[in-house]
Amino acid sequence: MDLQNSLTLLLTHWFKNSQRQLSWRTTPRDPYITWICEVMSQQTSLEVVQRQLPVFLKTFPHIKSLSESSESDLRKVWSGLGYYARARNLQKGAQYIESLGSFPTTYDEIIKIPGCGPYTAGMIASLCFHEVIFARDGNVNRVLCRLLGKESPENVAPLFNQFILNLMTNAQISPGEINESLIELGALICKKSSPLCLQCPLKDTCVSYKDNKTHLYPLKKKKPLWKQVSLKANIYYQNQEFGLILRKDSFLKDTLGFHLSETDPGENTDFIKHTITNHKIRCKGYIVNDIKEFSLDKIYWFPKELIPHNLSTSLDLKIWKSLEI
Ligand code: SF4
């Protein structure tokens, strides 16, 4: 047996015995459920996906129901799952699939679904339609960097692609299973810090393990240059309801939350502190009753109890809690 075949067998044998039992790992795989799961998993932990997926599927059991959803149902079901823009993209995607008449079955067609990136399209195509296609996320990059002894995935993407495509074409194992085994290995064994190499099915061929350099691969990225931002959160309040807006610019583009404007922090010390990507934010919320001074496209009004469910960022939630209303 050649090296690639034995690697694949070791990996998939490990996966069969050690994978987490998740409700969506069925045979055969359902493309609709796989798509929803992949989008949910991009923003939240598997525990949350496990809890929220049945709720989502109860409200939207099929593509048609999602494509016809009302804004309020979609918001309710997406509550706690992060950026609402992703839910809207899912709905746009469902409308697109409805217009096709059925779920597309090849990578080249799946990637045309609005909001569906290469990784998600690769997972759906390989898991549900057995297409030989490599789905590469951060976990898989880390495993491959260590396994092949490469410092960074950036310059060796073609090498990784070829390596995985060889595994997929030489083995009698579904390409989706190989993709999923690598992702699971990255999540459970080849962890970011302190990989559990002694339990790893690939340790005998792993270059960084043999060289005792697992801690060096992949090379850590340089820390981003921090940008300090001081913000004022305008909390609109009218007729016993609070107003949110869909932000259209800045680093919080496409998120539903309070209207934010830059401000001079002055001598104030009671700011909320928060970090998003490379932004160090100081922010304070103010109740605003007179909204005429703001020229805003649309304000979404909600009663107090629904506000936490409709805020899409943790910064907004922090602001809301600080008001102690
Ligand atoms: S031996 Fe260690 S570093 Fe290599 S792939 Fe396995 S867990 Fe990762």
Rounded to two decimals, the pTM is 0.72
CA distance 159 to 72: 46
Q: Which two tokens stand for residue 260?
A: 């934010």
Closest to 135 in 3D by CA, of 42, 199, 5: 42
Whose C-alpha lies nearest to ligand 1, atom 2?
Answer: 197
CA distance 149 to 147: 6
What is the CB neighbour count within 10 angstroms for residue 158? Answer: 8
Mutate to test the pocket of ligand 1, among 145, 206, 216, 217 (most ligand atoms within 8 A of CB): 206
pLDDT (tens, 9 = 90+) of the chain, 325 residues, equals: 566 778 888 999 999 999 999 999 988 999 999 999 999 998 788 889 999 999 999 999 999 999 999 988 898 898 878 777 888 889 999 999 999 999 999 999 999 998 888 899 999 999 999 999 999 888 999 999 999 999 888 778 888 888 888 888 877 788 999 999 999 999 999 999 899 999 999 999 999 999 999 999 998 877 778 888 999 999 999 999 999 988 877 778 778 889 998 887 666 667 889 988 888 999 999 999 887 766 666 888 889 988 887 787 889 999 999 988 7
User: Which atom of ligand 1 approaches the CA of 217 most closely?
Assistant: 3
Task: Please give the distance, rounded to the nearest whole angstrom, from the Cα atom of residue 179 to the centre of ligand 1.
Answer: 16
The CA angle 320-40-83, to the nearest 5 degrees, is 35
User: If you compute the radius of gyration of the chain from its CA atoms, what whole number of angstroms results?
Assistant: 23
Closest to 215 in 3D by CA, of 245, 191, 188: 191
Whose C-alpha lies nearest to ligand 1, atom 1?
Answer: 203
What is the identity of the amino acid at 279? Answer: H
Look-up of token digits 């949350």: 48
Is 38 among the catalytic positions? yes
Mutate to test the pocket of ligand 1, among 151, 163, 181, 189 (most ligand atoms within 8 A of CB): 189
Task: Please give the distance, rounded to the nearest whole angstrom, from the Cα atom of residue 209 to the centre of ligand 1.
Answer: 6
Domains in the chain, please, with CATH? 3-216 (1.10.340.30), 227-323 (3.90.79.10)
From residue 110, how far is each of 105, 129, 177 by CA, in Å? Answer: 7, 11, 19
Q: Which two tokens stand for residue 200?
A: 């790893």
Task: Please give the distance, rounded to the nearest whole angstrom, from the Cα atom of residue 253 to the centre of ligand 1.
Answer: 38
Task: Please give the distance, rounded to the nearest whole angstrom, from the Cα atom of residue 115 to the centre of ligand 1.
Answer: 33
Output the ligand 1 site: residues, CB below 6 A.
143, 146-147, 189-190, 195, 197, 200, 202-203, 206, 208-209, 214
CA distance 218 to 184: 18
